[in-house]
Structure 1
Amino acid sequence: MFKNILKAVVGVVGAGLFLIVVSKASDALFTLKAQPTGENVVAMTAAPGGAGGDAAPAEEEVAVVLGAGDAAKGEKVFGKCKACHKVDGTNATGPHLDGVVGRAVGSVADFAYSDGVKAHGGVWTIEMLDAWLAKPKDYIPGNKMAFAGLPKDEDRYNVIAYLQSISQ
Structure 2
Amino acid sequence: MFDTMTITKVGGSLCAALLIFLLGGWAADGLYSVGGTHDEEHRAGYVIDTGEESDEPAEEVVEVAFADVYAAADAGAGERLWRQCSACHSDEAGRNGVGPSLHGVVNRAKHTAEGFGYSDGLLATTGDWTPENISDFIANPREYAPGTAMAYNGMRDVEDRANLIAYLATLVD
Query: One fold, TM greater than 0.5?
Result: yes
2:107 pairs with 1:76: no
The count of aligned residue pairs is 118
Q: How does 1:31-110 map to 2 (within 5 A)?
A: 31=62, 64-67=67-70, 68-89=72-93, 90-110=95-115
Which TM-score applies when normalising by structure 1?
A: 0.64
- 1:32 is displaced (CA, Å) by 7.3
Tell me by how many angstroms 1:167 deviates: 3.7
Secondary structure at the counterpart of residue 107 of structure 1: coil
- Greater Rg, structure 1 or structure 2? 2
Distance 2:132 2:161 in 1: 11
Q: How far did 1:153 drift?
A: 1.5
Q: Cα offset for 1:151?
A: 1.1
Structure 1 residue 65, shift from structure 2 partner: 2.0
**Deviation of the 1:66 alpha carbon:** 2.3
Q: TM-score under structure 2 normalisation? A: 0.62
Instruction: Find the partner of 2:155 among 128, 150, 156.
Output: 150
Deviation (angstroms), 1:109:
1.4
Q: Which runs of 5+ in 2 are unaligned?
A: 1-53
Q: Distance in 1 between matches of 2:157 and 2:62?
A: 17
Query: For 2:61 and 2:100, how far apart are their aligned partners in 1?
Result: 39
Where 2:104 maps in the other structure, the secondary structure is coil
Q: Could you tell me whether the CA contact under 8 Å between 1:116 and 1:142 is conserved in 2? A: yes
Deviations along 1:44-95, one digit per CA (max 9) or x if unpaired, are xxxxxxxxxxxxxxxxxxxx22253110110100100011001111101100
Superposed CA RMSD in Å reads 2.2
Q: Which amino acid aligns with 1:162?
A: Y
Alignment partners' CA distance in 1, 2:122 and 2:111: 6
Q: How does 1:1-20 map to 2 (within 5 A)?
A: none
The percentage of counterpart residues that share the same residue type is 38
Q: Distance in 2 between matches of 1:91 and 1:97?
A: 8
Q: Is the 8 A contact 2:121 2:146 kept in 1?
A: yes
Counterpart of 1:14?
none
Match of 1:53 in 2: none
Q: Which residue of 2 aligns with 1:163?
A: 168
